Amino acid sequence: MPQRSVVAVGASLLVASLALTGCGTRGGDDSSDTGGGSGDKVAKIGVIAPLSGDLAALGKGIEHSVDLAIKQANEKNAIPGWKLELAAEDDQATPDVGKNAATKLASDKDVVGVVGTLNSSVAQSVQPVLAAANITMVSPANTNPSLTQGADFATAPKRAYPNYFRTCTTDSIQGPFAARYLFEKAGIKEVATVHDKKTYGQGLVDAFTKEFTKLGGKIVSAQTINPDDDKYDAVISKIKPSNPKAVYYGGEFPQAGPFSQQMKAAGLNVPLMGGDGIFSGEYVKLAGSSATGDLATSVGAPTDQLESAKAFVTAYEAAKYSEPYEAYGAYAYDAANSIIEALKTSLKDASSAEAARTGTVTAMSSVSFDGVTGKVAFDEYGDTTSRVLTVYQVKDGKWAPVNTEEFK
């Protein structure tokens, strides 16, 4: 990958500048059929996300945000002659279940696009299924670089699936972003790393480690856990003698929260830092009071501080969904609207949703609009052109933004 430089911009300045660029069981009815005429043809936008289990808080936020985008499009008659519907499937954060969900959606001739997945490991199983059916897939949360640029992304990037796009930045940006924050801003030079052996967690730690050591930092201990574990004393006992000044964790909040709590109870009183996979209020609940001072990176600037996101936040709250939009809601909303923008072209003269699948993939490359999260557009690999991230820290029992930057 070409070397990137990080240009710090104050969070308030960045929010101000971005403001100039934009703008399941559901809170409403299940069919997302507000608006449209009774004779309209139907096109469905699917969702593949964990709607049950440990990561359901994130998955439901994705589902509800897509539901909101569909309802708003129908109310505006965004695509004359067509009614959009939501088709949500629970992947349980498991690759095989995700593959089955993709197969089910691909067999539905009305499905023309899918928002998902949450997990990069699940995406690896879903991508080939949707690609074979020419169904557009837009993820609000997948961050592993190989999903867009292939296994050799670091030296010879090559797009594997022309139907795959994402509205979030990747680990090749997020990992170095965290490394630079710890080394340059927090002044931490010695770090232990832990990951959960999954695609997301391992990729994030690999990217972090490469940048942190390049800056002159030292990885004093590199450990792994099993995703199904809930006791981490053996790993913590290996890390503690190395005396790290922070622990960088690659994985998700169901394991990260208890890990933080247990390492501090064992006397390892240093901040735990992770990626967007731990940026959830559920992490703070799981870690308890020991979460204070812990850090996380997440894609984009804080949603609730973006002028461009005010209408989304207001509409989401008015819909009275049973779960919050969480870390990926705004990105799921933009992902759904990117598909809707493409459908305005592909469905215009289409006889059926199935007939518009290939045209939708083609139209996605030209999608460009001012979204909730800023400018929504995609590069030649299907990656977002946005390079904005934020560091959050747990203060007074909740995540608070402490630094927002943009990769140039």
- On whether the CB atoms of residues 303 and 329 are closer than 8 A, the answer is yes
CATH code for the domain defined by 22-169+303-387: 3.40.50.2300
CATH 3.40.50.2300 occupies which residues in the chain?
22-169+303-387, 172-299
> pTM for the whole thing?
0.84
How far is residue 115's CA from residue 378's CA, in Å, rounded to a whole number? 15
Q: Which CATH architecture has domain 172-299?
A: 3-Layer(aba) Sandwich (3.40)
Q: What is the pLDDT of residue 36?
A: 52
Strand-strand pairing, 136-139 and 164-166: parallel
- On whether the CB atoms of residues 211 and 175 are closer than 8 A, the answer is yes
Provide the token pair at 403: 């630094």
Return per-residue pLDDT of the chain as tens, 408 residues: 333 333 333 343 333 333 333 333 333 334 454 455 557 899 999 999 999 999 999 999 999 999 999 999 999 999 999 999 999 999 999 999 999 999 999 999 999 999 999 999 999 999 999 999 999 999 999 999 999 999 999 899 999 899 999 999 999 999 999 999 999 999 999 999 999 999 999 999 999 999 999 999 999 999 999 989 899 999 999 999 999 999 999 999 999 999 999 999 999 999 999 999 999 999 999 999 999 999 999 988 999 889 999 999 999 999 999 999 999 999 999 999 999 999 999 999 999 999 999 999 999 999 999 999 999 999 999 999 999 999 999 999 999 999 999 876
Q: What is the pLDDT of residue 14?
A: 39
Q: What is the pLDDT of residue 32?
A: 53
